[in-house]
Amino acid sequence: MLKSRMMETNRQKKIAGVIQKDIAEILQNAMRESGQGVIITVTKVQITPDLSDAKVYISIFPTENRDKIVMETQEHTHAIKHQLAQRTRHQLRRVPELHFFMDDSLDYIEGIDKALKGDLEDPIKHPEILPKRKKI
pLDDT tens-digit readout, 6-52: 688 899 999 999 999 999 999 999 888 887 788 889 999 999 999 99
Same domain flag for 83 and 115? no
Q: Report the share of the chain in percent with pLDDT over 70.
A: 86
Report the number of distinct structural domains present in the chain.
Answer: 2
pLDDT at 6: 61
Domain of residue 67 covers 3-103
Same domain flag for 90 and 116? no
Same domain flag for 52 and 65? yes
Same domain flag for 91 and 111? no
Region 98-116: what's the mean pLDDT?
Answer: 81
Q: What is the pLDDT confidence band of residue 1, given thresholds at 50, 70 and 90?
A: very low
Range with the lowest mean pLDDT among 60-74, 76-90, 94-108, 113-127?
113-127
Same domain flag for 62 and 116? no
- HEC-encoded secondary structure of 13-79: HHHHHHHHHHHHHHHHHHHHHHCCCCEEEEEEEEECCCCCEEEEEEEEECCCCHHHHHHHHHHCHHH
For the chain, what is the mean pLDDT?
84
Same domain flag for 60 and 81? yes
Same domain flag for 76 and 90? yes
Same domain flag for 82 and 134? no
Same domain flag for 110 and 124? yes
